[in-house]
Amino acid sequence: MEKPNLSYICSMSGGNKEFEQKLIQIIKNEFPTEKKKYLNYLKVGDYKRAAEKVHKIKHKISILGLAKSYRLTVNYENNLIDNKTVGQKDFEDVLQIITDFLETL
């Protein structure tokens, strides 16, 4: 499985370490909320709203340089829009990888 990295954040920050830390903190705050909401929507069978949360999480997957995970997330989002949960396990593995990575920052 690929590993998250901070390449994008470092490239767009222009070397501004203070901003890098600020952005990481925003992601650390926002990601768990999005993940929780996604899981709740999935639990109640609201796949449309679950797809909306996957869409938001997709941006963070991309920010963290997870190119393959991004592609499988795009497919999963489309499946949810079609009321299907194909790809759920792979997507939730990605969520766990990000959760673990953010804890190290």
What gap in Å lies between CA 37 and CA 65, rounded to an integer?
Answer: 23
Q: Rg of the chain's alpha carbons, rounded to an integer?
A: 14
100 neighbors 2 (Cβ within 8 angstroms):
no
In the bound state with other proteins, the residue whose beta carbon lies nearer, of 13 and 85, is 13
Site string for other proteins, 44-73 (x = CB under 8 A): -----x--x--xx-xxx-xx----------
Site string for other proteins, 15-34 (x = CB under 8 A): -x--x--xx--xx-xx----
95 neighbors 1 (Cβ within 8 angstroms):
no
**Left if phi > 0, otherwise alpha if psi is -120 to 50, otherwise beta: which for 4?**
beta
Give the shortest CB-43-to-other proteins separation in angstroms: 18
Amino acid at site 29:
N
Give the shortest CB-105-to-other proteins separation in angstroms: 14
Binding site for other proteins (CB under 8 A): 8, 11-14, 16, 19, 22-23, 26-27, 29-30, 49, 52, 55-56, 58-60, 62-63
